[in-house]
Amino acid sequence: MTDPVDLASPALTLSDIDPNKPSPARIYDFWLGGSQNFAADREVGQRIAEAMPHLPIAARANRAFLSRVVHHLVADLGITQLLDLGSGVPAAGNVHEVARAHNPEANVIYVDVDSVAIAHARSLLEDLPGCEAILADVRSPATVLGHPLLQATLDLKQPVAVLMFAVLHFVPDEGAPEEIVRDFMQATVSGSYLAISHGVPDVHDPGTQQDAADSYAARTGIPFVARTPEQLSTWFTDLELMPPGLVSIDEWMPEPLVEPRENPLIYGALARKS
């Protein structure tokens, strides 16, 4: 008999959390109106929101986009397994909630590098078999894909939806985001999907966006890299882009009566692996 894998190991300790160092996960939580953030997160989040008031609005629009994509994947395309990379602090409309509203059997793996995000996710998922949260870095696809919790929860011989919402703009070009996308999709079978949302350049006020990105990087230690839709489109070349293509997230299967904003700041797409 093989040794049982201790799925709870390694235990997550919160001792390495520095409340004085703002984190992208907690700043985003602040913009969404969540409570899992510290004074340092709120101070940076507030300052950036004052310079770019449309950013918290874009964060909420991104959550709505995530919800529409997951609904479409599970309700219309029959997806039952989802891998949410850079999942963030749990917020309204978490992937497992949207997915399980349509299919209670759907399995979900959350992955984030932020301890607060994963600790909170784990407490939320405690009594939900088939939903797990992993503390890991998406820049190491092999580590994520080989994690015992992922291996025990997802069957990679069946289609999986790989979700990368608002995470790859934290990976600079030196981190080869295109290769990260490719490595995750290479581990999936035909019929799998890739969903991405990503910050784009602010064509109306590039200077303010650059200043905000610089101050964000100075405080969090994490760069923010806006990429043009043309740059992002190269990540989908081996995949079949689903309608309406790579567009502003407001334009992706919009809710009726929602007017696309003039300056959405985030683009997104869903693509299928043939």
Ligand X SMILES: C[S@@+](CC[C@H](N)C(=O)[O-])C[C@H]1O[C@@H](n2cnc3c(N)ncnc32)[C@H](O)[C@@H]1O
> Which residues of this protein are in contact with ligand X, per CB under 6 A?
24-25, 28, 62-63, 66, 86-88, 111-114, 117, 137-139, 165-167, 170
Residue matched to tokens 């969903």: 195
Kindly state the smallest distance separating residue 111's Cβ from ligand X, in Å: 6
Kindly state the smallest distance separating residue 114's Cβ from ligand X, in Å: 4
DSSP 135: E
Report which residue's Cβ sits closest to ligand X: 88
CB 192 within 8 A of CB 78: no
Kindly state the smallest distance separating residue 190's Cβ from ligand X, in Å: 25
Kindly state the smallest distance separating residue 77's Cβ from ligand X, in Å: 20
CB 270 within 8 A of CB 71: no
Residue matched to tokens 């340092």: 40
Q: How far is CA 187 from the centre of its chain?
A: 18
CB 82 within 8 A of CB 160: yes
* 6 contacts: CB under 8 Å, gap ≥ 6: none
* 62 contacts: CB under 8 Å, gap ≥ 6: 165, 166, 197, 249, 266, 268
Kindly state the smallest distance separating residue 130's Cβ from ligand X, in Å: 20
Nearer to ligand X, 66 or 150 (CB): 66
Kindly state the smallest distance separating residue 246's Cβ from ligand X, in Å: 16
Residue 200 backbone dihedrals phi, psi, to 5 degrees? -115, 165
Nearer to ligand X, 113 or 154 (CB): 113
Nearer to ligand X, 93 or 229 (CB): 93
Nearer to ligand X, 170 or 236 (CB): 170
Nearer to ligand X, 111 or 213 (CB): 111
Q: Which of 164, 163, 161, 173 is nearest to 228 (CA)?
A: 173
CA distances from 176 to 47, 169, 180, 268 (A): 30, 11, 7, 19
Nearer to ligand X, 93 or 191 (CB): 93
